[in-house]
Amino acid sequence: MKTITQKYFDWLYVQVIEEGDLLSGESYRIVCDVMHQMPFLVTIPHDDNREADGCELRNEFVFMHDLARFTPEELVHLMPHSASVFEVLVALARRADFLIEKTVAGWFRQFLSNLRLTKYPDSKVRPQDHFAIDRILRKFNERKYTSNGRGGIFPLTHPDQDQREVELWYQMAAYMTEKAMY
């Protein structure tokens, strides 16, 4: 029997990985699990809004599921203090899809591609790749990517400012504008 945290992860996962990918070799469960184990770092003003969006997914999950069979202790495990990188990216993909319809899974796939994580589908991940996946995600999470956003989820060709100092919401808006998605 799956725990509540496993069910929650599965619920998040099916929102961002297309059904065809789940059945093919293009599943990214390992990458998403590493993301979900990593707490999202809020280092820029207003990125706490992205964290709040990630945390809000937990409330949506609880609202949508009959959780009466779970103990209060199990529910506590679902609600750690900060959102994970995975929760933040799921929530951001949902917000991006609201602005520019590309599907939530399409946006999440774009994030994976921009982070250069698409080369790590489950079928190709080797034990030594876990370090590389973790390093890529830490680089994003700690904002150690380049000033134009390369190494992050919204790289730009012609940024107006250092993207390491711009909240994710405005990075997303600049990315959509530069890519002429509006």
Assigned domain for 161 exists: no
Assigned domain for 128 exists: yes
Are 76 and 3 in contact, with CB atoms under 8 Å apart? Answer: no
Token pair 């790590």: residue: 120
Global pTM reads 0.93
Assigned domain for 169 exists: no
Would you tell me how many other CB atoms lie within 10 Å of the CB of residue 17?
Answer: 20
- Domain tally for the chain? 1
Assigned domain for 177 exists: no
Tell me the C-alpha to C-alpha distance, in Å, between residue 109 and each of 16, 89, 120, 171, 172.
Answer: 8, 10, 12, 17, 15
Assigned domain for 140 exists: yes
Give the chain's mean pLDDT.
Answer: 92
Q: How confident is the model at residue 22 (pLDDT cuts 50, 70, 90)?
A: low
Domain that residue 131 falls in: 4-147
- The proportion of the chain whose per-residue pLDDT surpasses 90, expressed as a percent, equals 76
DSSP assignments along 46-94, one per residue: TTHHHHHHHHHHHHHHHHHS--TTS-HHHHHHH--SS-BHHHHHHHHHH
Assigned domain for 71 exists: yes
pLDDT tens, position by position, 81-122: 789 999 999 999 999 999 999 999 999 999 999 999 999 999
Assigned domain for 170 exists: no
Q: How confident is the model at residue 75 (pLDDT cuts 50, 70, 90)?
A: confident
**For position 69, what pLDDT does the model report?**
67
**For position 23, what pLDDT does the model report?**
63
pLDDT tens, position by position, 148-166: 999 999 999 999 999 999 9
